[in-house]
Amino acid sequence: MSVAEDQIAQEPRIVTEIPGPKSRELHARRQAVVPPGVHSVVPVYVERAHGSVLVDVDGNQIVDVCGGIGVTTIGHTDDAVVAAAAAQLGKVTHTLFTMTPYEPYVQVAEHLARNVPGSTAERPYKTLLMNSGAEAVENGVKIARRYTRRPGVAVLEHAYHGRTALTSSMNHKGAPYAQGYGPRVGDIYKAPNSYPLRDGLSGPEAAKRTIAYLEKMAGAEDLACLVVEPVQGEGGFIVPADGYLPALAEWCRANGIVFIADEVQAGMARTGTVFSIEQFGVEPDIVLSAKGIAGGLPLAGITGRAEIMDASLPGGLGGTFGGNPVSCAAAVAVFDQIERDGLLARAKHIEEVFGDGLRGLAAKHSAIAEVRGKGAMLAIEIVKPGTLEHDPELTQRVIDFAVQRGILLLSAGIYGNVIRFLPSLQFTDELCATVVRVLDEAFEATTA
């Protein structure tokens, strides 16, 4: 147990109203100098954190079931990550890899080559490192276009890929991500996805619909790539029906389209395998990672088949901060724990324990239409009882109730009627039970 863990008990403890007086004071200062477009869902100012608990400036302890949207997968201020980053800080913090390189970048690429499905020791996948998820998507598309010499980009409904000009045009939701920021980028085709709760289609049926749409609207020969989140994140943790992703991958292969798995949210041990696509039996041409890869530091990977990655000319790929040495050292510490410390089994354990708790709630509260997800990436979809009508108001009331009890939850879904859970893999059974109990109280109080 670290000093920090010793100081931050892994439990909620509320000592002021939420947000407390110091948070409100900071929020007033912030509003004068930070634009409202940079919205904070819960304006509680965090001073420190460890494991699964945040401590705010007023001394409240809040259980973090979001992990900064799936970033602190191995827990906040993980001892090994902090030690590795601190050691690297004292050695070298920047040279620019495309100027004079360093080992940690190569180590991260080696870890990714070992863990991406499809990559083998004889023919390892190669990696470009950048800083953010959106940059990973930008570069994945760029590399696929260079390799295929085709312009078109296929994405799925309910997708989320980022907030840059290209990626905000790829998102399903125009408002608030692309609205008013036009012109939106062209040659992007948004095909229907597989959404078992709502479309009732089998995987092969849903794939047929997706493919028919793309063949009509884009034409396969114009498509450079299909970008899919194997488990959709912002879209509401939608798990496609069995057989959907393999059918899409097969169609891509037959038509020379690069299959890109956007694992920015679902990857890095979150779902119980290093990359979630593994559980669908697909070997993607390119895998994108970011969020959880460096234990809270900014880093993103674009990992793909060598012939695709090798299609760019020297100097065509990179960026000043891409693959920062401190972030890379932290990522190596994350991979070491994933490969050695049974973190994948932890994700499966959370799926069982927390999933059971959520299914118990669904049996009791008819507003919960479905419990879904994989590993430590779980969600409940909230509807008007007896219908499939979205209920974003109830969703928000439940979330607001929970934060007053020291449980930080986050919504998802195009209509904001999903609560997604992204606990750290250190989340204890006791914390799972606490979250389920508070949710139970929240549904009792808000549906009464």
* Residues in touch with ligand PLP (CB under 6 A): 132-134, 137, 160-162, 229, 233-234, 262, 264-265, 290-291
Which secondary-structure segment (H or E) carries 214? Answer: helix 203-217
Half-sphere exposure of 248 (CA within 13 A, CB side): 36
Q: Which is nearer to ligand PLP, 227 or 436 (CB)?
A: 227
Closest contact distance (angstroms) between CB of 131 and ligand PLP is 8
Closest contact distance (angstroms) between CB of 161 and ligand PLP is 5
Closest contact distance (angstroms) between CB of 232 and ligand PLP is 8
Please give the DSSP secondary-structure letter assigned to residue 238. B
Q: Which is nearer to ligand PLP, 73 or 265 (CB)?
A: 265
Helices (H), 58-151: 67-70, 79-89, 103-115, 133-148
Q: Which is nearer to ligand PLP, 55 or 422 (CB)?
A: 422
Give the integer Cα–Cα distance in Å for 329 and 340: 17
The dihedral sign for the CA sequence 268, 272, 275, 277: negative
Closest contact distance (angstroms) between CB of 234 and ligand PLP is 6
Looking only at Cα atoms, what is the longest distance across the chain?
Answer: 64
Q: How far is CA 328 from CA 133, 220, 267, 323, 350, in A?
A: 15, 37, 17, 6, 27
Q: Which is nearer to ligand PLP, 62 or 299 (CB)?
A: 299
Q: How far is CA 321 from CA 94, 264, 437, in A?
A: 8, 19, 44
Q: Which is nearer to ligand PLP, 12 or 140 (CB)?
A: 140
Q: How far is CA 111 from CA 4, 164, 270, 285, 390, in A?
A: 29, 28, 16, 17, 41
Q: Which is nearer to ligand PLP, 117 or 230 (CB)?
A: 230
Q: Which is nearer to ligand PLP, 150 or 158 (CB)?
A: 158
The dihedral sign for the CA sequence 116, 121, 122, 124: positive
Beta partners for residue 356, in sequence order: none
**Contact of 249 with 210, CB cutoff 8 Å:** no
- The two structure tokens encoding residue 333: 């510490």
Closest listed residue to residue 231, CA positions, set 203, 265, 191: 265
AA letter at 133: G
Closest contact distance (angstroms) between CB of 127 and ligand PLP is 17
Closest contact distance (angstroms) between CB of 441 and ligand PLP is 30
Q: Which is nearer to ligand PLP, 410 or 439 (CB)?
A: 410
User: How do the residues of the chain divide into helix, strand and coil, expressed in percent and rounded to 5?
Assistant: 40, 15, 40
Q: Which residue is nearest to ligand PLP (CB)?
A: 133
Provide the pairing of β-strand 46-50 with 53-56: antiparallel
- The two structure tokens encoding residue 5: 């863990």
Collapsing DSSP states into helix, strand and coil, what is residue 76?
strand
Which secondary-structure segment (H or E) carries 351? Answer: helix 343-364
Collapsing DSSP states into helix, strand and coil, what is residue 372?
strand
Closest contact distance (angstroms) between CB of 217 and ligand PLP is 22
Closest contact distance (angstroms) between CB of 261 and ligand PLP is 10
Closest contact distance (angstroms) between CB of 130 and ligand PLP is 10
Q: Which is nearer to ligand PLP, 157 or 229 (CB)?
A: 229
Neighbours of 20 (CB within 10 A): 19
Q: Which is nearer to ligand PLP, 112 or 137 (CB)?
A: 137
Closest contact distance (angstroms) between CB of 46 and ligand PLP is 18
Closest contact distance (angstroms) between CB of 377 and ligand PLP is 11
Q: Which is nearer to ligand PLP, 18 or 134 (CB)?
A: 134
Closest contact distance (angstroms) between CB of 86 and ligand PLP is 23
Residue with tokens 């939701």: 173
Which secondary-structure segment (H or E) carries 439? Answer: helix 429-447
Q: Which is nearer to ligand PLP, 291 or 346 (CB)?
A: 291
